Structure 1
Amino acid sequence: MYHVKNAGILSVLTIRICGECDLGRGLRIFIGLIFVGGFILAVGIGFLLILSDGDIVNFIQTSLIRLSLSSRQDELITPISTDDSPIHFVIEVGDTPYTVAQNLKLAGLIRDAELFVDYVRAEGLDVELEAGTYFLNQTQSIVDIAHALTDSTSSIIIFRIPEGSRLEEIGQLIDENTLLGFNSMDFLSVVGPNTPQDPTFTAKVGLPANASLEGFMFPDTYQLPANVTPEMLRDIVLERFLEAVGEQIFIDIAQDGYTMYQIVTLASIIEREAVYPEEHPVIGSVYRNRLVAGIRLQADPTVQYALNGVRGSWWPNITPSDYQNVESPYNTYLYFGLPPGPIANPSLSAIRGAAYPAETNYYYFRASCSRSGYHDFATTFEEHLANGC
């Protein structure tokens, strides 16, 4: 009995020991499989990374950034202030998103440069930031600014040249426009006298040697690129002049014995005399009749131009004594014919009024006593006097 009992215990012990052996072996196999699986997974991921050229890493990084940004939405869409004053901002070729972000912060457009970088990376805008000149303001959020900086052509400058303004007045408007990256002196240096101009344009309009471009800065409203220079502005305006007047007018005025420079000179006087465009052809007829008859033009605006702003205005009131005392070839009370050049930059209506005057026998005109801005016209000096108030 004792022997049998001991044998049973031995059997039980043997079974238990063998069971523990199987369990250890299974655990080792399981751990081994995990290592093998991990190795295979690592190799697979590495292989995929090689094939995808880092796309998976970028995806993971972008996902983490997006997760981080999800808690900062208010910062992304809240502008820095309510001041909408334009701020001149430039992205240079080769600027990184980090450089752009730092410059935005220095310009007072954003508070957090790293947040800007994270946002453009998460949205894929980091590769779309475009070199160029922009006009931004503090009412724009990080989201607004990031998208704005992907298209430099979206920033334009609206600039208007008024009818009848002279070059110096255009220069003053340039100084008043805070978006332009140059001043009046820069502008006048490329349109003023003694400045070489495009020979094709010079020949076409009959521009005398060393003459300024007074008269050819065509009045209009221009949409200028943000990086506009004085030279670009000049060329844009001259091109607009040629487009506006068209080709036929050159043929027609040549048949009458005029150059475009002469017509623009006359048109500039018409522009300064008239209040209403419908009078341009009639006033043009008066001056054309006087030129043919050899009578002085006696145009007050030419005397104003000759004073050259010495009285604190480019177009001051003049007195009867000025007719005789303002010594200048622009004074058409003293000198016959057209003045040396245009006295202002006329509209297309005034140019056509000079090129295609009404058929009249008028030689005189004066402001109507009704103070309406219209004029009374006369053939004889006696009629002219009778039109007085």
Structure 2
Amino acid sequence: MFFKEPSSSSFVLKSGIYKLNPSMDFSEIQKELSSGQQEFIVISLPEGLTISKIAAILENNKICPASDFVAFCHDSSSSLFSEFKIAGESLEGYLFPDTYYFTSGMSVQSATRIMVENFFEKIKGVRGLSEKSPSELFEILTLASIVEREYRIAEEAPLIASVFRNRIKNNIGLYSCATVEYIITEIQGKPHPKRILLDDLKIDNPYNTYKWAGLTPGPISNPGLIALDAACNTPSTNYYFFQIADQGAGRHVFSTTFEQHKVNHNLYTKD
């Protein structure tokens, strides 16, 4: 059986990834291979994930091995660090949460570059952020990563950022449970805790904001635009404390003094 060789004018083989099946005849295969349509794997990465959680999603979707992705994101000798002037020791915080179109088996370098390039493109939409120096950006990004893990309602993100900035200014610990959770899950490699215990607050680690004042050594998550804007354009307030007021809605109440905070704690904490 012979097939007529397709002429160059009727068939152009275009690079891509295609799905073919045995039931397709020659003309259908030819049409598919000349369509140029890619078979993408759509991945949605929500705000607040860490490198390891993103890695697990990529592996589960057969994009690339999780261990390879984690290793590459912690390799500060990578050209990405010098190219984008990344001040941290890893890419934690620089992997922008978004919907991505990846291909199966793509290299970790390619997948990571897409996310990092997207980060630097998206921060252009945050007033004043893209003009910051690498060290200033890293500091803002670190604060934003903590705000991301603490806020639930968008309009409260700037207020939470203001609490943290006021505490940093006065050398008061941030007292963020999110940073302790990061130690437990990302540094110690333990399962996500159902609750933070008093013993957890005593963990001797620079990421423990109950033991050490100031920001953590680096980001604890990959924040979105709301948290980034809150950390970059933080409003001036007199707040030093916030307390959950509505667990279901994720709403907080803010206070200036510890006495007010204790009252709020008694009002909104239930047995």
Q: TM-score range by the shorter chain?
A: 0.7 to 0.9
- RMSD over aligned CA atoms reads 2.8
User: SS of the counterpart of 2:162?
Assistant: helix
The normalised TM-score by structure 1 is: 0.61
Among 24, 35, 54, the residue aligned to 1:141: 24
Change over 3 Å in CA distance of 1:192–1:232 after alignment to 2: same
Q: How many Å apart are 1:358 and its aligned residue?
A: 2.3
Alignment of 1:84-163 (within 5 A): 118=3, 121=5, 127-134=11-18, 136=19, 138=21, 141-142=24-25, 143-163=27-47
For the Cα contact (< 8 Å) 2:120–2:130, is it kept in 1?
Answer: no
Greater Cα radius of gyration, structure 1 or 2? 1
Q: How many Å apart are 1:246 and its aligned residue?
A: 1.1
Give the total of aligned pairs: 262
C-alpha separation between the residues in 2 aligned to 1:318 and 1:200? 39
Deviates more, 1:279-288 or 1:238-247: 238-247
Alignment of 1:343-362 (within 5 A): 343-362=220-239
For the Cα contact (< 8 Å) 1:192–1:213, is it kept in 2?
Answer: yes
Q: Which amino acid is the alignment partner of residue 191 of structure 1?
A: C
Among 54, 61, 71, the residue aligned to 1:189: 71
C-alpha separation between the residues in 2 aligned to 1:291 and 1:193? 30
User: SS of the counterpart of 1:154?
Assistant: coil
Alignment of 1:251-290 (within 5 A): 259-290=136-167
For the Cα contact (< 8 Å) 2:97–2:222, is it kept in 1?
Answer: yes
The normalised TM-score by structure 2 is: 0.85
Alignment-derived partner of residue 102 in structure 2: 224
Alignment of 1:195-234 (within 5 A): 195-198=77-80, 199-202=82-85, 205=86, 207-208=87-88, 211-224=89-102, 228-234=106-112
Question: Unaligned stretches of 5+ in structure 2?
Answer: none
Q: Does 1:171 align with 2:55?
A: yes
Structure 1 residue ranges, 4+ long, deviating more than 4 angstroms after superposition = 120-127, 137-140, 251-254, 309-312
User: SS of the counterpart of 1:249?
Assistant: coil
Question: Unaligned stretches of 5+ in structure 1?
Answer: 1-113
C-alpha separation between the residues in 2 aligned to 1:137 and 1:315? 45
Change over 3 Å in CA distance of 1:140–1:156 after alignment to 2: farther
Q: Does 1:336 align with 2:213?
A: yes
C-alpha separation between the residues in 2 aligned to 1:200 and 1:194? 11
Query: What do residues 329-350 of structure 1 show as CA deviations (whole Å, max 9, x unaligned)?
Result: 1000001110100000000110
C-alpha separation between the residues in 2 aligned to 1:164 and 1:315? 17
Query: What do residues 182-220 of structure 1 show as CA deviations (whole Å, max 9, x unaligned)?
Result: 211221222124443431312xx5x14xx0100000000
Q: How many Å apart are 1:225 and its aligned residue?
A: 5.0
Structure with more of its chain in helix, by fraction: 1
For the Cα contact (< 8 Å) 1:218–1:240, is it kept in 2?
Answer: yes
Query: What do residues 143-163 of structure 1 show as CA deviations (whole Å, max 9, x unaligned)?
Result: 544322124453223122210
User: SS of the counterpart of 1:328?
Assistant: coil
Q: Which amino acid is the alignment partner of residue 335 of structure 1?
A: W
Query: What do residues 83-141 of structure 1 show as CA deviations (whole Å, max 9, x unaligned)?
Result: xxxxxxxxxxxxxxxxxxxxxxxxxxxxxxx7xx84x846979842334433x164973
Change over 3 Å in CA distance of 1:128–1:253 after alignment to 2: closer
Q: Which amino acid is the alignment partner of residue 356 of structure 1?
A: N
Q: Which amino acid is the alignment partner of residue 322 of structure 1?
A: D
For the Cα contact (< 8 Å) 2:129–2:232, is it kept in 1?
Answer: no
Change over 3 Å in CA distance of 1:191–1:317 after alignment to 2: same
For the Cα contact (< 8 Å) 2:179–2:209, is it kept in 1?
Answer: yes
For the Cα contact (< 8 Å) 2:184–2:191, is it kept in 1?
Answer: no
Highest RCO, 1 vs 2 (Cα 8 Å, sep ≥ 6): 2
